[in-house]
Amino acid sequence: FSTEAGETVRATLFPGDGIGPEIAESVKQVFNVAGVPIEWEEHYVGTEVDPRTESFLTWESLESVRKNKVGLKGPMATPIGKGHRSLNLTLRKELGLYANVRPCNSLPGYKTRYDDVNLVTIRENTEGEYSGLEHQVVRGVVESLKIITRQASLRVAEYAFHYAKANGRERVSAIHKANIMRKTDGLFLKCCREVAEKYPEIQYEEVIIDNCCMTLVKNPGLFDVLVMPNLYGDIISDLCAGLIGGLGLTPSCNIGEGGICLAEAVHGSAPDIAGKNLANPTALMLSAVMMLRHLQFNDKADRIHKAILQTIADGKYRTADLGGKASTSEFTNAVCDYI
């Protein structure tokens, strides 16, 4: 993605449900104060199924992301009822979001068991055990198909090495269980090896998933960039979020076909605290920072990132999930003051 100096960029914003609109408002406020040249195109989840998407997401909102190639997504509550596709699955499939990127960094001043976590998980987002191919073989026996393709594995491995190089990272670890799943995880590893050869400046290693879990909880500082198939990525990325203080602090970004970047907080719509000005907007703010880095607005990204970290480190304005008493707007105002 390249932007001309002084150009205003249009980006799609899905405020989402529950606490989504409140924390999206925080991001807008922070962007205004920092003078980020972004014009938002806001889209909401519809109230009826759109037959063109078979989901509550409208065709127009998907078109907006396709056209702008960049967006920010708040949490979306899964509507109850049959005959429609899940919102996240619709976004993944329709926008070809093939990689989910989650940086996990210890936050200075917010004490957890570790203070040296600085890793990034990159999860293949389209296949593996999540291909939705399950059936009953005979009564009492069911089968679920795990699909691994060369095309999707190469694509996510390529992204992981590209990410490592572009972000000054030293090592990529491929996480697998190829000792048991020789064909599927074996192919995934083969693709990672092929890509690794093109990046001799980046160290490459292979770590078996069970050993990876043990090492992550004993010494997460040993990892740098981790790339893995869908199911392992789903689990490991939440494990890593837990290492730094939980989902309220963890940003993420989905990379899609044609260079699409859709950043999103990984937590849900938190209906228990929605509308009460209690939500922690950090995860969505940090996701917005990832979006700015993708757009190469690095100065703005650095300023906002630093202000968020300073506010948390200060400890004066922390939201309830971090043990504080501050409201969403008090925390947001404190970040704006630092900017």
By CB under 6 A, tell whether 252 contacts ligand NAD: no
By CB under 6 A, tell whether 272 contacts ligand NAD: yes
**Cβ closest to ligand NAD, residue 91 vs residue 152:** 91
By CB under 6 A, tell whether 251 contacts ligand NAD: no
**Cβ closest to ligand NAD, residue 300 vs residue 318:** 318
By CB under 6 A, tell whether 267 contacts ligand NAD: yes
* Binding segment toward ligand NAD, per CB under 6 A, in 51-59, 151-159, 264-272, 297-305: 264-272
**Cβ closest to ligand NAD, residue 191 vs residue 285:** 285
Residues 67-86 that bind ligand NAD (CB under 6 A): 75-78
- Smallest gap from Cβ 281 to ligand NAD, in A, equals 7
- Smallest gap from Cβ 272 to ligand NAD, in A, equals 5
Return the residue nearest ligand NAD (CB atom): 268
Q: In Å, how far are 88, 99, 158, 209 from 199, measured between CA atoms?
A: 32, 19, 10, 23
The pair of structure tokens assigned to 239 is 């494990």
Mask: binding to ligand NAD, 275-314, rule CB under 6 A, as x and -? ----xx--x-------------------------------
| Separation between Cα atoms, residue 208 and residue 182, nearest integer Å | 12
By CB under 6 A, tell whether 269 contacts ligand NAD: yes
- Smallest gap from Cβ 288 to ligand NAD, in A, equals 14
- Smallest gap from Cβ 228 to ligand NAD, in A, equals 19
Residues 91-150 that bind ligand NAD (CB under 6 A): none
**Cβ closest to ligand NAD, residue 20 vs residue 220:** 20
- Three-state SS letters, the chain: CCCCCCCCEEEEEECCCCCHHHHHHHHHHHHHHHCCCEEEEECCCCCCCECCCCECCCHHHHHHHHHHCEEEECCCCCCCCCCCCCHHHHHHHHCCEEEEEEEEECCCCCCCCCCCCEEEEEEECCCEHHHCCEEEEECCEEEECCECCHHHHHHHHHHHHHHHHHCCCCEEEEEECCCCCCCHHHHHHHHHHHHHHCCCCCEEEEEEHHHHHHHHHHCHHHCCEEEECHHHHHHHHHHHHHHHCCHHHCEEEEEEHHHEEEEEECCCCCCCCCCCCCCCCHHHHHHHHHHHHHCCCHHHHHHHHHHHHHHHHHCCCCEHHHCCCECHHHHHHHHHHHC
**Cβ closest to ligand NAD, residue 143 vs residue 272:** 272
**Cβ closest to ligand NAD, residue 103 vs residue 172:** 103
**Cβ closest to ligand NAD, residue 5 vs residue 80:** 80
List residues binding ligand NAD (CB under 6 A).
Answer: 19, 75-78, 88, 247-248, 264, 267-273, 279-280, 283, 321
